[in-house]
Amino acid sequence: MVFQNNKNYNGILLLDKPKGISSNGILQQIKKIFLAKKAGYTGSLDPMATGMLPILFGNATKFSKYLTDSAKKYHVIAKLGETTSTGDLSGKKLKIKSININTNDIYKILNSFIGEIYQVPPMFSAIKYNGIPLYKYARLGILVPRKKRKLFIYKINFIQFVNPFLEFTVICSKGTYIRSLVNDIGNKLFCGGHVIFLRRLYIKPYNSSKLVTLSNLHFIENKNIEQIHKFYLFNMLNTFLLPVSSFFFKYPIIKILHSDINNFQKKIKIALNFFSTIGLVQVITKKNNIFLGIGKINKFGILTPKCVLCS
């Protein structure tokens, strides 16, 4: 028996993506479980990767940019001495080199990547060239030019090196390809390397305590589909979602009057009588503390709506 869900979900699901499925593939499963009309993900993970994958429902999709721009932390295990066509286990072996390195060499090389770096995206990626994803060219054996992109590595924490396996964690900016990072580390160590394990531990400001597994969702779905009314099924699945405002909890709060709500939702600038901060802020209603979206206040006290929850 399949219930038709006449309610719309709004919020963020921090899914613990399982190994062996693409980000889009898991999204389709989630949409089916939730019977969601509108959902998307941000911060794509490779099929071999696991960990935090934010699924955005309903109005939350408007705020995907902010999650995409956030710093991310990964747990990585690389196999040194071998390079592959994809930069991970799924590719064909291209080169095999001997490994002649010690722990001091590794510390030095890893530390050299901390800070601003430039990275060439891998051919097996969703970045587009002439409107076509790079991975489609790669599957045809076509190499196309790729521009270096500026990134930032905030921290690399060396865990261990058990020849030929190098294990570390990395905190990095948006757009960082761990496969490319491992390839570059391997090149600096003069032995090459590829990723054999990758797990996203967090996307700022969320931590792993908020993760929900696919099995959790299937359990609720299977348990309730026959036993309880669809209203309760909706409510139980809804408990897994975080409100959009949870992402912005560290932003300063500005409260606006009821008379200004309509203008904010229509993205009309508002002149504030009082303000104590400049820059990006959470905008909530003064009366009921309802989150309306994100705005930006300039030095003259003009509030410009940037992303609104509803309009």
Tokens 């390809």 correspond to: 177
Decide: 6 and 28 in contact? Cβ < 8 Å: no
16, 46, 88, 184: the catalytic one is 46
Q: Which of 51, 63, 75, 64 is nearest to 212 (CA)?
A: 51
Query: How many angstroms separate the Cα of 207 from the Cα of each of 14, 44, 64, 199, 250?
Result: 9, 17, 17, 13, 14
Clarify whether 260 is annotated catalytic. Answer: no
> What CA–CA distance (Å, rounded) separates 249 from 244?
9
Q: CA–CA separation, 183 vs 76, rounded Å?
A: 12
CB 94, CB 85: distance < 8 Å? yes
Residue 74 annotated as part of some ligand binding site: yes
Any known ligand binding at 177?
yes
End-to-end CA distance of the chain: 36
Alpha-carbon separation of residue 22 from 29, 31, 44, 162, 306 (angstroms): 11, 14, 8, 30, 31
Angle at 210 between CA 113 and CA 160, to 5 degrees: 35
CB burial of 275-311 (b: ≥16 within 10 Å; e: otherwise) equals: beeeeebbbbbeeeeebbbbbebeeeeebebbbbbee
Bind-site residues: 74, 177, 198
Residues recognised as catalytic: 46
- Binding-site residue ranges for substrate: 74, 177, 198
